[in-house]
Each structure stands twice: as C-alpha cells, then as structure tokens.
Amino acid sequence: MTQLSLACVASASTRAQDGLKRLRLQHDFVPPEQADVIVALGGDGFMLDSLHRYMSAQRPIYGMNLGTVGFLMNSFNEFTLQTRVAAAKAERLSPLQVKATDINGKTHEALAFNEIAVLRHSNQSANLQISVDGKIRMDKLMSDGVLICTPAGSTAYNLSVHGPIIPIGADIVGLTPISPFRPRRWRGALLPYNSVVEITNLDPIKRPLAVSADSSEIRDAAHVRVSVDVSRSMTVLFDSGHSLEERIINEQFSA
C-alpha cells in the first residue's frame, strides 16, 4: 500500500506536545505544505485554528483528540496512524462568512466553521433587528445575543443555548437566540443554506455588541451580515464507522 505523506501539528498543551513526541518515534513527518494529509493533535479549538491556518494549502486534516471534548477529532493512537488515515471518511465543510460594520463605519470580515455569535458587550441586554434575505423577520429581539451555526457547529455553542442539532449534509443553517428576554418564547429558526442573515444593533452606543467568529472577535458592531461562503471549504477526515454524521446523530440521543 502506498504510504501517505503526513504532516503533524500540535497545540501548545502538554498532552498534545507529548503526543507529538510519541508519534515522531513511530512516523516520519513532512512539512504541511508537502503533505497529503495534516494530522492535528489537540482539542476542537485547535482543529478550528488548523482549518483556518491551512485553508490556503487545501490539505485534508485528520484530528486526534488530546484536548477536552474532541467532537471534531478522532481518538489518539500512535501506532495505527497510516491505516486509519487511509481508511478515513472525508467530510467537506464550508465556513460562514461575516461582514460586520462597526459604530465608526469600518467593515470587518471573518470566517467561522462553527458559528458566528453576536453578543451583548455591556451589562444591558442587546436590542437586535433580524432580517433574512432582505426581509425583516423580527423587529426587535431583546436578548444576550443571537448566533448562526453550521451543521458541524450545531453541537457546540448552539446546543448549549438549546438550539437544534443539524445533520451533516443538511442544506440549512441554524439561527438561535441567546437568553431571549423578549419575545421570551422564540426558539430560533432553521434557514436555507443560501440565506443571508442581517443583524442590526438598534442601540449601538448604549448597548454595544461583539461578534465572535470561531477564535476571531469584532467589537462595537452596528450591523452584521452572515452567509455561507460556498466558494471555500476544507476536508476533515474521520475514522470509518465514527464519522461526523454518526456523531451528530448520536448526540441527539445522548442524555
């Protein structure tokens, strides 16, 4: 069997660095730009960082969990790496793109594979107007904020604020309120994948907002536009029989 050229990158944590040392005793690695596949050691946060870092290289990423939850990762094993990577199932993930205009009129852009979260940045609730594809759908949402998530990100922050779990391959995104005060019973919406969601801060000076896009943050947002960037994508590899799709289904039946 032809051997794949593998690169290996690791988070700064002690566990990940120890795992990297152990793998180097068993495997010969090449630089990421020369690899067929990049192996990422760490947790979900490091996987997201790796997706952003190596997007231009367009190399598939196979993660091994040496972090906490590891939802986007595979289990760690130093001896069977070549066999596992060769048999892994590929999932293609496209990111959300956010364009946020701040209170000074400056536009900021960022990408997120999990979610875009628009959050209050003061001790007062946010007052938000929500539009979808140019039509106002909610005149005023009083809440701690709102988030838009991909299917891959639906089991992350979205799930913790009681948003729906979205199957991989579903052409939809989730729009979920964060601690809604008015309307109190609104639980969010599922929207077509090609939707454009716009969020306007109705009181940007008194009630400032921050926009979180994976590990990026934009402060003092007055207007936020979010859509899926279908022109960009990354491939993530999962062990056979333990695909991302299977994990998302399992998550819906967990206690």
Active site residue: 36, 44, 102, 220, which one?
Answer: 44
Confidence at 128, pLDDT banded by 50, 70, 90: very high
Mean pLDDT of the 88-104 span: 96
Average pLDDT rounded to a whole number, residues 173-199: 96
Q: What is the pTM of this model?
A: 0.89
Residue 80, domain extent:
6-93+233-251
Shared domain check, 139 and 171: yes
Same domain, 74 and 134: no
Name 91's bridge partners.
236
- What's the pLDDT tens digit per position in 28-48? 999 999 999 999 999 999 999
Query: What average pLDDT does the chain have?
Result: 94
Task: Please say if 44 is a catalytic residue.
Answer: yes
112 and 143 housed in the same domain: yes
Residue 85, helix vs strand vs coil? helix
80 domain residue, yes or no: yes
223 and 155 in a common domain: yes
CA-based nearest residue to 217, from 122, 69, 112, 132: 112
CATH number of the domain to which 189 belongs: 2.60.200.30
Q: What is the mean pLDDT of residues 69-80?
A: 90
Are β-strands 115-120 and 145-149 bridged in parallel, bridged antiparallel, or unpaired?
antiparallel
> How confident is the model at residue 184, as a pLDDT?
87
